[in-house]
Amino acid sequence: MNQPLDGVRVVDFGQFIAAPAATQILVDLGADVIKVEPVTGEAARTIGLYGEAILRTYNRGKRAVAVDLATPRGQQLAHRLIADADIVVQNLRPGVMERFGLGAAAVRAAHPQVIYATVSGFGLHGPSKQRAGLDIAAQAESGIMWVTGEADGEPQRVGFPVVDAAAAQVFAQAILGAYVRRLRFGTGDEVEVSLLEVAVHLQGPNWGEYLLTGKPPVRSGNGQPTVAPAADIMPTLDGAIVLSAYSAPHFAKLCELIARPDLARDERFESNAARVRNRSALLIELRAAFADQTTDQAMDLLTPNGIVAGRISSYDEVRKNPDVEATGLFIEVDGADGTQHTTLGAPWNLGSVPSSSRAGAPTLGQHTAEILGRLGYSPEDIADLQAQRVIHLP
């Protein structure tokens, strides 16, 4: 069965997460993604374990070319790659692609059929368009850190690069929309996504409340400010669970299950508004009910009876979770050195895509000679480019 993006060629100038993670989605949909790096390698190759994790997670099944885009011959090579492509993706520092003659305007003028997609830190039109942007800056300036943490503590970042990961999903969605438009109407397009706007948009419910009331949300630790119990932690004998039961029928059911039907009639807890006002007292009562149960006992009590709850799991526990195992999310891939390792596959399933690519991330410049040969470069041309350090061959 043909995959959705069979025959689609993507040139990926991305580094770190947001752009490479977006093009990883395109790989998993069947696209041929050519990863273009400097001859010294992209920045993730220089930062140790974290960089290796990024490369393994977001570059599966890509083909790699290493070229010096600061040279005229390197820029010519890049244009030949782009002329053969459907989609160009980049997230280099602002102005870098323009200095190489590979910015959106130049590429779209030379190759109007191409979809040119840029993900930036702060957008391409505001006063911060020249700023370098990373996940943490977007978390800080979007309000995410302002609402994350304990009420009397300092602002906290989310414990993983949530904005980068979310931006990659949004970026891929927009690229696919542009590609569908090209299929329908025959014209290329320009796609722009920024970490900042994605970070703001991720907080839709918070912004909805703020726009309704004019009152900004505040840090409140676990739990949700306007409903209770909601996302509240219940310690158990061997760990903890999180639960939500803030609608009237769910709260009554929760009280029944923990053998405390009196709580539903207590004037402090008889409505959601009352429970929010008296959250501290409510948590004392609820936590006492779970303090002598194991996590498994608590989950067995709540989840078959319609109460939303989840065990707070370590990474070791997540890895062994039978529901996670059943998804096939963790896959074995072949590294460039012939060894196998485990990484994350695509978090979705399509009938036309039976499994994620089993090829691992490429080494620096692994496919340079192969791809240049397909573009018409002779072995002598390739050797000359290597001798002048315009390209890197492994």
Judged by DSSP in three states, 84 sits in coil
Residue 164 annotated in active site: yes
Query: In whole angstroms, what is the distance from residue 99 CA to residue 36 CA?
Result: 16
Residue spans of alpha helices (H) in 186-247: 195-201, 204-213
Nearest to 361 by CA among 85, 33, 3: 33
Q: Please state, in angstroms and rounded to a whole number, the distance separating the CA atoms of residues 162 and 169.
A: 11
Number of neighbouring beta carbons within 10 Å of residue 370: 12
Write down the catalytic residue from 32, 68, 135, 164: 164
- Label residue 7 left, alpha or beta by phi (over 0 means left) and psi (-120 to 50 means alpha): left
Whether 236 contacts 204, CB under 8 Å: no
Tell me the two tokens of residue 146: 């302002």
Residue 5 and residue 26: Cα distance in Å, rounded? 7
Sign of CA dihedral 161, 163, 165, 168: negative
Phi/psi-derived region of residue 193, left when phi > 0, alpha when psi is between -120 and 50, beta in every other case: beta
Q: What are phi and psi of 79, to 5 degrees?
A: -65, -35
Amino acid at 369: A
Other Cβ atoms less than 10 A from the Cβ of 108: the count is 17
Our measurement of the distance from residue 67's CA atom to the centroid of its chain's CA atoms, rounded to an integer in Å, reads: 27
Q: Residue with structure tokens 């779209």?
A: 108
Residue 25 CB-half CA count within 13 A? 20
- Supply the residues annotated as catalytic: 164
